Amino acid sequence: MIGTTGFDEAGRRQIEQAARSVPVVFSPNMSVGVNVAFRLVELAARMLSGDFDVEIIEAHHRDKVDAPSGTALRLGELVASAQAVRCSRSPVHGRHGLTGPRPRAASAFRLYAAATWSGTTR
């Protein structure tokens, strides 16, 4: 059972390879409710593809060491995958001073503030 987040692509590949020979549970959040939410978000993203924007906002206490959290990142990955959009693990931070609508970008998600994960599906 792996509940740690922050693996790079090489680390994820190693986990996937190990899962071919031993049972592996790999999730950024072990809560049953959050894992149900993962599935519901994936279904909704497929059903609402096209002109719908997705914004994932999270807030934590000031001592939270990882932001965005693994849970927020996974939600973003699920939406991007369901809508066949490239999801960047290097979001653009901030939009201070910019006016107008968010641009539709190749990067599926943008981080607007220290604890806010936000973006568009295009």
* Coil, strand or helix at 50: coil
Tokens of 42: 């994936």
H or E stretch including 34? helix 32-47
Exposure of 7 in the CB half-sphere (CA atoms within 13 A): 16
60 is catalytic: yes
Total Cβ atoms within 10 A of residue 111:
21
Please give the mean pLDDT across all residues of the chain. Answer: 75
In the chain, what percentage of residues exceed pLDDT 70?
67
Query: pLDDT tens, 57-70?
Result: 777 777 777 777 88
64 is catalytic: yes
- At position 93, the amino acid (one-letter code) is H
Q: What is the mean pLDDT of residues 42-59?
A: 79
For residue 86, name the pLDDT band (cuts at 50, 70, 90): low
Candidates 60, 61, 93, 96; catalytic one? 60
